[in-house]
Amino acid sequence: MIQRPRRLRKSQAIRDLVSETRLSPSMFVYPVFVREGENIIEEIPSMPGQRRYSPDKLPIILERAANDKIGGVLFFGIPAHKDETGSAAWDDDGVIQQAIRISKKEFPDLTVIGDVCLCEYTSHGHCGVIHDGIIENDPTLEILSRVAVSQAHAGADIVAPSDMMDGHTQAIREALDRENLQDTLIMSYAVKYASAFYGPFREAAGSAPAFGDRKTYQMDSRNVREAIKEAKLDIEEGADIIIVKPGLPYLDVLRAVKESCYVPVASYSVSGEYAMMKAAAANGWLNERNIALEAAYSIARAGADIIISYYALDLAEEMSQ
Ligand code: PBG
Ligand code: ZN
């Protein structure tokens, strides 16, 4: 008898019925840039369609996120003043703390995730504190813990440390628990590669390192077993969710991590991926809706439970049509 797999493809409805991968708004997280100031909504040139908002203007975009019923928003803070230790990051009245409070007040059901790192807040643009030109791991842990506690006190449901210091999850977990913040989740960037795909983000957040690069703390793109080791360490330290980043160029890593770990895994489809898709679409070379959707399906198929994407709102709206 001739096997007829084509039967399963005979109509859109049947293809939908038998599809192995499904997307839903609830799996998407939308990154939002919040900058200090008032009455500001500004376009980010390196990421067409994305904007920086001052806290007072945030509800405009948060309302869309809440209506789309996406899984959450991920805030990145851009302070007015930077210093050596990134002190604006743990200011209880800092820009990200304000954003978190506004979001939880106006849209209590929308899950709020705070990015915990120092590079947007330090004058040198590194993710840790510096001594004699070296990024110091352990002194950075104390600062990151303060940042996380301050965001959790402001109302963050989840904190997301993206610094790649060793032991960050344990340090943050202990600090949160000491403050009776046991219910705050940690979504850790356990697997974050030193990637050229972050270029547009660094322009958006003003966080490019002033000297050197991030290769001493972020991962080497040639490695995959190291990713599993990093992920397992973070889980032992108490990570509730782990992130693999970037997205599309690292689907093999995502799959390997998914198969060897038993916590939800998020994939971060980063600024460079977005910028490439936007640029090709703007030139009329690719169909933007179709590639954004195909990219998201590919990431989900590779094992992502959660997709962090600058297309989160567009895709969620696409799905509810
Ligand atoms: C910094 C941070 C980066 C991103 C998120 N947090 C960039 C970096 O490591 O320089 C990149 C996100 C993106 O490119 O979309 N801790
Ligand atoms: Zn950083």
Is residue 274 one of the residues assigned to a domain? yes
Residue 34 lies in a domain: yes
Q: For 216-263, give the DSSP string.
A: TTSBPTT-SHHHHHHHHHHHHTT-SEEEEESSGGGHHHHHHHHHH--S
Residue 274 Cα to ligand 1 middle (Å): 13
Q: Write the pLDDT tens digit of every residue in 79-106.
A: 999 999 999 999 999 999 999 999 999 9
> Collapsing DSSP states into helix, strand and coil, what is residue 77?
strand
Contacts of 198 (CB under 8 A, 6+ apart): 246, 270, 271, 272
How far apart, in whole angstroms, are the C-alpha atoms of residue 144 and residue 123?
16
**Average of pLDDT values for 145-151?**
98
161 beta partners: 116
Catalytic residue (choose from 57, 82, 192, 278): 192
Model pLDDT, residue 320: 83
Specify the CATH number for the domain of residue 75. Answer: 3.20.20.70
Question: In the chain, how many domains are there?
Answer: 1
Amino acid code (one letter) for 41 = I
Cβ-in-10-Å burial (0-12, 13-18, 19+) of 109 comes to exposed
Task: Tell me, yes or no, whether 11 lies in a domain.
Answer: no
Q: Is the CB of 232 under 6 A from ligand 1?
A: no
Q: Is 140 in the pocket of ligand 1 (CB under 6 A)?
A: no
Which residue from 115, 126, 162, 187 has its CB within 8 A of the most atoms of ligand 1, so it is best to mutate? 162
User: 5 lies in a domain?
Assistant: no
d(CA 88, CA 224): 35
192 is catalytic: yes
Q: Is residue 192 included in any domain, yes or no?
A: yes
Per-chain residues with Cβ under 5 A from ion ligand 2: 117, 119, 127
Say what angle helices 312-319 and 58-68 make with each other, to 10 degrees.
40
Amino acid identity of residue 10, one-letter, is: K
Which strand (E) or helix (H) includes residue 61? Answer: helix 58-68
Residue 86 lies in a domain: yes
Q: Is the pTM of this model over 0.75?
A: yes
Helix, strand, coil in percent for the chain, rounding step 5:
45, 20, 35
Contacts of 108 (CB under 8 A, 6+ apart): none
Q: Which domain range does residue 150 map to?
A: 23-320
Q: SS3 for 307?
A: strand
Instruction: Tell me the pLDDT tens digit for each residue of 152-184.
Output: 999 999 999 999 999 999 999 999 999 999 999
pLDDT in tens, 8-53: 999 999 999 999 999 999 999 999 999 999 999 999 999 999 999 9
User: 202 CA to middle of ligand 2, Å?
Assistant: 10
Catalytic residue flag (residue 10): no
